[in-house]
Amino acid sequence: MKSLLMSIFNYRGFIGSSIKRDFQSRYKTSMLGAAWLVLQPLAMIIVYTVIFAEVMRARMPGDTGPFAYSIYICSGLLTWGFFAELVTRLQTVFVDNANFLKKINFPRICLPVISLGASFINFLIIFSLYLLFLLFTGNFPGIYIFGIIPLLIVQIIFSLGLGVILGVLNVFFRDVSQFMNILLQFWFWFTPIIYIIDILPKWASKWLMLNPMTGLIVGYQNIFVRKQWPDWSNLYLIGALSVILLIVALHLFRKHSGDMVDEL
């Protein structure tokens, strides 16, 4: 672990320039440039809000105001978007950079870190606009905003662990990324992002809480919709799972980092 952290620190310049180059390359040939970063999730939020707002607004618990469902769906979609983008990047990170790995000698752990940095910057840009919306509508959660720090830490560890495991496996079994793309679509609908977990039957809510992303999403919703601290007991499952996944991911990475180059 110490050697991996030292490698990341020693190559911090390479990582930073790679993140900058990744961000620039995504939008340099488009007319609207980085505006697509905002327009794509905004379009999704508008579609879901228009379709579900009237149905779900009446089911929102308590008197939460006219923007309650919009705030609810944004907190879930933006969080899920960060998770899905990072996992999607990581599951193909070694395959996509095969030529890079063969030609240049550098610590391979830099590639997942670059993916994390690029995804996190995208998330911060969109999330900043969301916070501005909360300020202008008088719905900023105040001190409870600091509750997102532990949620983000757990989410990043979980995403990194899962993504790196998938990335290593995908080098040897290319069906992994195809299967995961399908699984993410089902996973999205088994997470209370569009619908409200409180309106489900108790037996369904209990099963849904076994979904590790449910605890995280509900935590964000508590902060932004209900203006209260997350229920930390909901995070035990994903917290423990995140640590286990990260340990397994580092073990697989260290064991197969040399074999990956030969396989690619």
HSE-up of residue 118 (Cα within 13 Å, Cβ side): 26
The residue type at 134: L
Query: Given the structure tokens 């939460």, which residue do they identify?
Result: 64
Q: What's the burial of 159, exposed, middle or buried (CB within 10 Å: 0-12/13-18/19+)?
A: buried
d(CA 154, CA 239): 6
d(CA 33, CA 175): 33
The residue type at 33: G
The residue type at 129: L
> What is the token pair recorded at 128?
């900043």
Query: Given the structure tokens 């998330």, which residue do they identify?
Result: 123
pLDDT in tens, 48-78: 666 666 666 555 666 556 677 888 888 898 8
Could you tell me the pTM of the whole model? 0.87
Could you tell me the end-to-end alpha-carbon distance of the chain, in angstroms, rounded to an integer? Answer: 25
Q: Yes or no: say if 213 and 191 are a contact pair by the CB < 8 Å rule.
A: yes
Q: What's the burial of 46, exposed, middle or buried (CB within 10 Å: 0-12/13-18/19+)?
A: exposed
Q: Yes or no: say if 8 and 107 are a contact pair by the CB < 8 Å rule.
A: yes
Kindly tell me if the per-residue pLDDT of 94 is higher than 70.
yes
State what percent of residues in the chain have pLDDT above 70: 83
User: Is the sign of the CA dihedral 226, 228, 230, 232 positive or negative?
Assistant: negative
Kindly tell me if the per-residue pLDDT of 233 is higher than 80.
yes
Q: State the pLDDT at residue 67.
A: 73
CB atoms within 10 A of CB 94: 25
Give the 3-state secondary structure of residue 67: coil
Least confident of 107-111, 119-123, 137-141, 160-164: 107-111
Question: Could you tell me where the DSSP H helices lie in the chain?
Answer: 2-10, 12-27, 35-57, 68-91, 93-96, 98-103, 110-136, 148-172, 175-189, 202-208, 212-224, 236-263
Radius of gyration of the chain (CA): 19
pLDDT in tens, 155-189: 999 999 999 999 999 988 888 888 898 999 999 99
Which among 225, 213, 65 is positioned nearest to 147, based on CA atoms? 225
Mean pLDDT score, 123-135: 86
Per this entry, what is the length of the chain?
264
Kindly tell me if the per-residue pLDDT of 262 is higher than 80.
no
Give me the residue spans of the domains in the chain. Answer: 2-263
Q: Yes or no: say if 89 and 229 are a contact pair by the CB < 8 Å rule.
A: no
